[in-house]
């Protein structure tokens, strides 16, 4: 899966327009990055990638790239 495909998945989960998210964006600067978004990313990781993501792990994410790296 390409980074573009992963970004598109994240945009869908975060309810953002297609093509608006980039890997170098700071998560804390995204108004969509709230507790519901974090929960949605946790579910996405489990459903789509078979990976468990804990609340502690997600708190360590600083940039969108951190999420992409976790996706593998």
Question: Which pLDDT score is estimated for 24?
Answer: 97
Question: Which pLDDT score is estimated for 6?
Answer: 96
pLDDT in tens, 18-54: 999 999 999 999 999 999 999 999 999 999 999 999 9
Domain boundaries defined on the chain:
3-71
Tokens coding 28: 């804390």
CB count, 10 Å around CB of 33? 17
Which of helix, strand or coil describes residue 57? Answer: helix
What are the two backbone dihedrals, phi and then psi, of residue 65, each rounded to the nearest 5 degrees?
A: -55, -35
What CATH number was assigned to the domain covering residues 3-71? 1.10.1200.10
* Distance in angstroms (rounded) separating the CA atoms of residues 44 and 18: 17
Rounded to two decimals, the pTM is: 0.93
């Amino acid at each position: 899966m390409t980074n573009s495909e992963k970004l598109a998945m994240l945009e869908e989960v975060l309810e953002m327009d297609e093509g608006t998210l980039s890997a170098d964006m700071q998560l804390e600067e995204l108004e969509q990055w709230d507790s519901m978004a974090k929960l949605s990313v946790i579910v996405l990781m489990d459903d789509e990638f078979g990976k468990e993501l804990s609340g502690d792990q997600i708190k360590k994410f600083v940039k969108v790239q951190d999420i992409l790296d976790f996706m593998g």
